[in-house]
Amino acid sequence: MKVFPVVNCPDLVSVKEKIEAARSFLTPGDFLHVDVADGVFSFHTTWNDPVGWRDLHLPFAIEAHLMVEHPLVWISPWLAAGVKRFIIHIETINGEVFDAIAELCKNAGAEFGLSSNPETPARPMQSYLGRVNFFQVLGVNPGLSGQNFLPLTLAKVKWLRENAPRAIIEVDGGMTPETAKFAKDAGADVVVSASYIFGSNDPKKAYEELKNI
């Protein structure tokens, strides 16, 4: 199982603490998942300074999860910060916005995939099958880390695996060894985790536990 640790922090001090912990188990080039929350689409706000992120000069690949109302306006600043992959919520786009984001990412050599909130059915993603090869299933409501995984979202993972057999499927939210096993059995390739890893007394051990699912 691929595991991406999550940085979901309100300020730079907290961000640096998570990064220092991540250095104990990530190697250069590994993905670090960064939650970008605007307090509008999500009910909380994270530290959202792309210039500040760039100035950290991290050796990791950044996957930016844009939990924001208007994702298109966030793409270029975060591309300039060195983001390699974006996760965009299907609830925040239409065909025109999708095409604009796809063009920006293509020109910058970055990837992007689609996510959906727990209550959003899988069917709206059908028109995008074949247009993206990466989907995220959010197993909690967009917002703070530490929420419990919602098992109802496993049906969406299974639907995606059946309808997009070659796609990468990532599950985000409430991941523990038990819930990560459920996600893997449903068809997930990647899980992302904040609380289980960084809330542990031994983040490296927690990370390895998830990888060994």
Closest CA to 128 of 95, 157, 155, 97: 95
Q: Tell me the pLDDT band of 185, cut-offs 50, 70 and 90.
A: very high
| Cα separation, 26 vs 103, whole angstroms | 31
| Cα separation, 164 vs 206, whole angstroms | 30
Q: Tell me the pLDDT band of 146, cut-offs 50, 70 and 90.
A: low
Q: Is the pLDDT of residue 171 over 90?
A: yes
Pairing of strands 168-172, 134-138: parallel
Angle at 31 between CA 170 and CA 43, to 5 degrees: 60
Angle at 187 between CA 181 and CA 192, to 5 degrees: 60
Output the pLDDT for position 1.
86
Mean of per-residue pLDDT scores for the chain:
92
DSSP codes joined into one string, 80-118:
HTT--EEEEEGGG--HHHHHHHHHHHHHHT-EEEEEE-T
Q: What is the pLDDT of residues 51-84, one digit of tens each?
A: 999 999 999 999 999 999 999 999 999 999 999 8
Beta strands in 13-164 (DSSP E): 31-37, 61-67, 85-89, 111-116, 134-138
Q: Tell me the pLDDT band of 173, cut-offs 50, 70 and 90.
A: confident
* Separation in Å, CA 119 to CA 64, 144, 155: 22, 17, 12
Q: What is the pLDDT of residues 104-139, one digit of tens each?
A: 999 999 999 999 998 898 888 888 998 999 999 987
**7 vs 130, more confident:** 7
Confirm if 115 and 87 have CB atoms less than 8 A apart.
yes
Q: Tell me the pLDDT band of 46, cut-offs 50, 70 and 90.
A: very high
**2-211 adopts what CATH topology?**
TIM Barrel (3.20.20)
Total-model pTM:
0.92
Q: Number of C-alpha atoms within 13 angstroms, CB side, residue 35?
A: 31
